[in-house]
Amino acid sequence: MDTQGGAELCFPQLFNTSCKKPTTPLSQVLLFHILMPSMSLLTVTLNLLVIIAISHFRQLHSHTNILLLSLAAADFLNGLLFMPGEILRNTACWFLGQLTCSLYNYVSYIIASASVGNMVLISVDRYVAICDPLHYPTRITEGKVKLCVCLCWLCSVLYSYVILIDDLSQPGKHKSCYGKCIIFIEFIAGFVDLFISFIIPLTVIIVLYMRVFVVAVSQARAMRSQVTTVTLQLSVTLTATKSELKAARTLGVLVLVFLLCFCPYYIVSLFGDEVLNSASESIAFYFFLLNSCLNPLIYAMFYPWFRKAVKLIVTLQILQPGSCEVSIL
C-alpha cells in the first residue's frame, strides 16, 4: 500500500501530490460521526415543516412569517448541503474535484450570509413594530418585506462571490495536495468579511433589540397600570400591543440563540490557525451549525400555530381540499 509518512494516501497513484487520508481525532469522532449526521437530518426535517406550514396556510402569510420563511430556507439548505459537506470534508478524502469544492464553499458562504441578513431584517421588523407601531402597517408592507428578502439573498450571492472570487476563478489555486477541500481567503478580505458579516450586523441587532427591550418594558408597565374598566377601542389596542410584545419576546429569544451560536465561531476565528486547529474550533463550529436546528425548536416552544401546523402536516390533512384556509392562529 502506498503511504506517505506512514499514512494512507487519497490518491496512491499521485504519490508526490496526494493528500493523506484524514484521521479524525478522538475529540472530533463524536462530532462528525454521530452528532452532525443526526443534527443534519433533524435540521432538514424541522425546517421543512416550517417552510410547508408558512407556505401552505394562508393565515400564516404575515410580514414577520415571511422573514421566518426565508430564515427557515437558509437553515434547510444548511442541513441539506453544508452539514453533509463538512462531514465529508473532515472524515474522508474529497473526491468531487476542485471546482465542486469551490462551489461548495461558495454556497456555504451564501447560506451563512443570508442567515445573518435575515436576523437583521427580523430585528428591524420588531423594532418598527414595537417602537413605531402607528406607522408599522404603512412602513412594513408585504411587498417591502418580500423585496427585502430577495435583496438579502441577492446581496449574499454577490457578496460571497466577491469574497471568494479568487477561489472561484481559479479552483484549487491554493491547494497543496489532491484530496482535500480547503478554502483560502486573503487576510484583507477575511478582515473585511469579519466586519461586514459579523461585527456590523451584530452591532445593529444588539442596538435595535436593546431599544425594543426598553420600549417593551415601558409598554408592559403601562398596560399593567391601566384600570380594568377601559373602552372597547383601548381594549383592542392593548390586545394588539400584547400580541406585538409576545412576538418581540419570541423573536428576541431567536436572536439571542443566534448570537450565542454564532459568536463563539467568529471569536475563535480571531485567534488564527493555532486555535482553529484545536478542539476549540470543533466546539465553536458545532454551535455555529446547531443554530439551524434550534430555530424550529424555538417556534415549537413559543408558537402554538407551529405545533398545530405540524400536526396537520404529519397527519396529511393538508392534502384535503381547502386545507390552506384552516384557522390555525
> Is residue 264 in a domain?
yes
> Is residue 24 in a domain?
no
> Is residue 213 in a domain?
yes
Question: What mean pLDDT is reported for the chain?
Answer: 80
Cβ neighbour number for residue 67 with a 10 Å cutoff: 25
Model confidence pLDDT, tens digit, residues 94-147: 888 888 988 999 999 999 999 999 999 998 998 888 888 888 888 889 999 999
Q: Is the pLDDT of residue 67 over 50?
A: yes
From 7, 29, 1, select the one nearest 177 (Cα to Cα).
Answer: 7
Q: Is the pLDDT of residue 80 over 70?
A: yes
> Is residue 18 in a domain?
no
> Is residue 128 in a domain?
yes
Average pLDDT over residues 269-293: 68
Residue pair 68/53 in contact (Cβ under 8 Å)? The answer is no
DSSP state of 145: H
> Is residue 7 in a domain?
no
Average pLDDT over residues 59-75: 92
Q: Is the pLDDT of residue 327 over 70?
A: yes
Average pLDDT over residues 34-60: 91
Q: What is the CATH number of the domain that holds 34?
A: 1.20.1070.10
Q: How far is CA 234 from CA 112, 127, 240, in A?
A: 43, 22, 10
- pLDDT higher for 163 or 285? 163
pLDDT of residue 326: 87
Quote the CA–CA distance of 53 and 82 in Å, as a whole number.
Answer: 23
Percent of the chain beyond pLDDT 90?
A: 26
Domain of residue 38: give its range.
29-224+231-325
pTM for this model (two decimals): 0.85
Least confident range of 55-64, 71-80, 229-238, 242-251 = 229-238
Quote the CA–CA distance of 51 and 70 in Å, as a whole number.
Answer: 9
From 188, 184, 197, 211, select the one nearest 262 (Cα to Cα).
Answer: 197
> Is residue 81 in a domain?
yes
Model confidence pLDDT, tens digit, residues 219-265: 666 655 654 444 444 444 444 455 566 666 777 788 888 888 888 87
Average pLDDT over residues 2-9: 57
pLDDT of residue 286: 79
Number of domains in the chain: 1
> Is residue 4 in a domain?
no
Q: How far is CA 72 from CA 16, 83, 236, 273, 291, in A?
A: 45, 15, 32, 32, 11
